[in-house]
């Protein structure tokens, strides 16, 4: 049976990460926040979104969300937010069982970037109030066609304004060389991660989207460290060897699918099996590609970080997103695109203003919208979704034979 052996190393890397908070200054950060800058001050960086994903993957969200709802958070806002806050209010966490942590690490500083959504601002302020902890944010212009020099100056200045806040919370003076070094490490890791994802251009691919969402752990939580670089070097070497030997997730690849939007964390295994049973490979996604930051440049640490983090897919206009989707469709030889309309993540559900139909019209590629959610499985109908996906894959197959 085909296996990615680096998974054992991944578990070790993630375990070591979660054990690294003891006795360290801790900064909380959004998943596409300025992690490199925080690491330059010696903070260990903790990511509540990663915790939200873990709650979703372990199917504990439904247990925790009611506590957040009781505290005034609507059940229709981001279920990372409500499951994470609900877990905190319930005094429980999957970190206990999986990583032996009693509780989430206490923050010395909380930093967010609204490049992905405003929800993170409200979510993180809840904790800043609770812990009476300093909090700072980056608020870039949103939904851009492209990032111009004016926007760049504005965001780079906001990055620089974080320096005194970080100095005060860490007790460490800013050292630009240290920042350049974390940015360089982050750039190296993100480049390796990109190469990892691009191994799926091969037929059969050595990993799917469903493997990608597991192996992306270090690029989210360990950006700016040597551990992330080492991990992706090992993973890339293994996957490249599989490609060279013609080994992959499928023996007979009948269709290649692109996944747009959030993962459905509690159904990763079920969906992975479903596509494999139908000889279909989900080879690329907007989600996994969101941690590729090609613009990092240690020579221009503030401007390049501002550019990289403002140009992310989720922060672009619909037209700019369409361009990126078309590029990936070509590169990965995509036969069909699935748009996950995630009930509680408006920002990462791209079919709500008709993008899926425009994409179909302009590329001729079939599209399907699947309704669900990142963590809250009450918004996901498994029977209905399985039928929809199987019918979609059959249509793609018959379309191929007709050509
Ligand atoms: S982008 Fe979506 S899933 Fe992520 S924090 Fe914002 S609302 Fe939640």
What is the residue extent of each domain of the chain? 6-402
Question: Tell me: the pLDDT tens digits for 272-281?
Answer: 999 999 999 9
Long-range CB pairs of 96-100 (<8 Å, 24+ gap) are 97/58, 98/54, 98/58, 99/14, 99/15, 99/18, 99/19, 100/19
Question: Tell me: the pLDDT tens digits for 26-59?
Answer: 999 999 999 999 999 999 999 999 999 999 999 9
Residue 8, both tokens: 């054992």
User: Is the per-residue pLDDT at 163 higher than 80?
Assistant: yes
Cα(25) to ligand 1 centroid in Å equals: 26
**CATH T-level topology, domain 6-402:** Rossmann fold (3.40.50)
pLDDT more than 70, % of the chain: 100
Q: Tokens 């500083």, residue?
A: 109
Predicted TM-score of the model (pTM) = 0.97
pLDDT of residue 403: 65
Question: Tell me: the pLDDT tens digits for 265-310?
Answer: 999 999 999 999 999 999 999 999 999 999 999 999 999 999 999 9
Residue with CA closest to ligand 1 atom 6: 117
* Atom number, ligand 1, closest to the C-alpha of residue 120: 5
Q: How many CB atoms lie within 10 A of CB 358?
A: 14
Q: How far is CA 36 from the centre of its chain?
A: 16
Cα(79) to ligand 1 centroid in Å equals: 8
Instruction: Give residue 225's pLDDT band: very low, low, confident or very high (50, 70, 90).
Output: very high
């Amino acid at each position: 049976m085909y296996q990615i052996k680096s998974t054992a190393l991944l578990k070790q890397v993630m375990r070591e990460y979660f054990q690294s908070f003891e006795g360290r200054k801790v900064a909380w950060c959004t998943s596409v926040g300025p992690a490199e800058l925080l690491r330059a001050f010696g903070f260990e960086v903790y990511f509540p979104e990663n915790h939200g994903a873990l709650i979703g993957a372990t199917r504990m969200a439904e247990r925790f969300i009611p506590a957040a709802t009781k505290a005034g958070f609507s059940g229709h806002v981001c279920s990372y937010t409500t499951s994470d806050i609900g877990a905190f209010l319930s005094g429980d966490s999957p970190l206990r069982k999986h990583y032996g942590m009693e509780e989430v690490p206490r923050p010395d500083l909380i930093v967010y970037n609204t490049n992905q959504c405003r929800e993170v601002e409200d979510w993180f302020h809840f904790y800043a109030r609770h812990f009476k902890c300093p909090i700072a944010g980056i608020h870039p212009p949103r939904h851009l066609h492209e990032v111009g020099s004016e926007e760049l100056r504005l965001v780079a200045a906001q990055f620089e304004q974080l320096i005194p806040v970080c100095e005060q919370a860490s007790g460490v003076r800013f050292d630009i060389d240290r920042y350049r070094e974390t940015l360089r490490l982050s750039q190296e890791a993100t480049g390796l991660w990109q190469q990892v994802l691009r191994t799926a251009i091969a037929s059969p691919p050595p990993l799917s989207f469903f493997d990608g969402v597991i192996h992306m752990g270090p690029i989210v939580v360990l950006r700016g460290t040597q551990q992330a670089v080492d991990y992706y070097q090992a993973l890339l070497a293994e996957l490249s060897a599989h490609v060279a030997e013609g080994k992959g997730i499928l023996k007979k690849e009948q269709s290649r699918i692109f996944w747009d939007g959030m993962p459905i964390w509690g159904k990763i295994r079920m969906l992975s099996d479903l596509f494999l049973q139908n000889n279909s490979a989900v080879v690329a996604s907007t989600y996994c590609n969101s941690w590729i930051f090609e613009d990092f440049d240690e020579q221009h640490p503030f401007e390049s970080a501002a550019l990289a983090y403002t140009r992310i897919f989720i922060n672009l206009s619909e037209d700019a997103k369409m361009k990126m989707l078309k590029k990936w469709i070509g590169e990965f030889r995509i036969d069909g695109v699935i748009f996950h309309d995630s009930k509680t993540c408006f920002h990462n559900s791209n079919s709500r203003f008709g993008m899926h139909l425009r994409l179909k019209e302009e590329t001729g590629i079939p599209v399907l919208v699947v309704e669900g959610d990142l963590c809250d499985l009450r918004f996901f109908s498994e029977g209905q979704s399985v039928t929809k996906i199987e019918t979609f894959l059959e249509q793609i197959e018959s379309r191929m034979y007709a050509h």
